[in-house]
Homo-oligomer: A and B are copies of this chain.
Amino acid sequence: MVEVRRKVLKENDLLARRLRDRFQSAGTRVISLVSSPGSGKTTLLERLLTDLRQDNRVAALVGDLATENDAARLARSGAAVKQITTGTVCHLDAGMVERALSDWPLEELDYLFIENVGNLVCPSSFDLGEDLRLVLVSTSEGEDKPLKYPTIFNTADVAVITKLDMAEAAGIDMDLLVQNIHGVRPGMPIMKVSARSGRGISELEQFLTSTRADLKAAYVQ
């Protein structure tokens, strides 16, 4: 099992590297989102697509085990959206992304968002060739998620705390959550947003649209 898994991961890494080269030469910035089911990936993405497509050419791939509901929701933003249904597979892989992109001319895209299957474990091992991976954690999930799922925080670039509007009802200790994120991943950039109220959204969008150099600088801080 371990042997087979190692081979699968190695093949994925090679494919992801090829994808990353393609994205770079096409000038497409690729941003992926991972989180538990129900952390608000689709709601946040709907907001980001709607806003960013005012001035940019944006598209999204969205992964789920079943249903095309998310693609339908995201299509309301007016952006091009494609659903990848994975069946029983708990994550996207680079091959699925490559196949989904086969008839999309990347040169015509400034931003490509990839919403992974809702899962805090499986997606961590699979590079999708993205420039930036956001890990979302909602205020209603408790403060301990970074400690219990360290790998997903370690393979992401930015933590986004979602459902800020529910923080009080959830009774979350925000300082402790931030402390736990940094306990697992010191210096990780953290953004706080509410897609419902709009709080923090423009800061996140500014962060995502800043140049690659800026992002790397922010990350080192």
- Chain A residues within 8 Å of B, Cβ to Cβ: 1, 4, 8, 36-39, 64-67, 69-70, 88, 90, 117-122, 124-125, 137-138, 140-142, 144-145, 147-151, 163, 165-166, 169-170
Q: Is the CB of B66 within 8 A of A147?
A: yes
| Known contacts A4-B1, A140-B140, A166-B140: A36-B118 contact under CB 8 Å | yes
Please judge, given known A-B contacts A36-B37, A37-B36, whether A151 and B88 are in contact too, CB under 8 Å: yes
Distance in angstroms between the alpha carbons of A151 and B118 in the assembled complex? 14
Q: Which 3 A-B residue pairings sit nearest by Cβ, starting from the closest?
A: A38-B141, A169-B169, A90-B121
Total copies of the chain = 2
Q: Which of A69, A117, A120 has the most CB of B within 10 A?
A: A120
Cβ contact within 8 Å between B121 and A120: no
Subset of 6 A-B contacts with CB under 8 Å:
A38-B39, A65-B150, A67-B144, A67-B148, A69-B147, A140-B170
Q: Which residues of B contact A140 (CB under 8 A)?
A: 38, 138, 140, 163, 166, 170
- Which residues from B are CB-within-8-Å of A166? 140, 166, 169-170
A1 to B88, CA, bound (A): 14
Q: How far is the CB of A159 from chain B (nearest CB, A)?
A: 14
Q: Name the distance in Å between A86's Cβ and chain B's nearest Cβ.
A: 9
How far is A29 from B37 in the complex, measured between Cα atoms in Å?
29
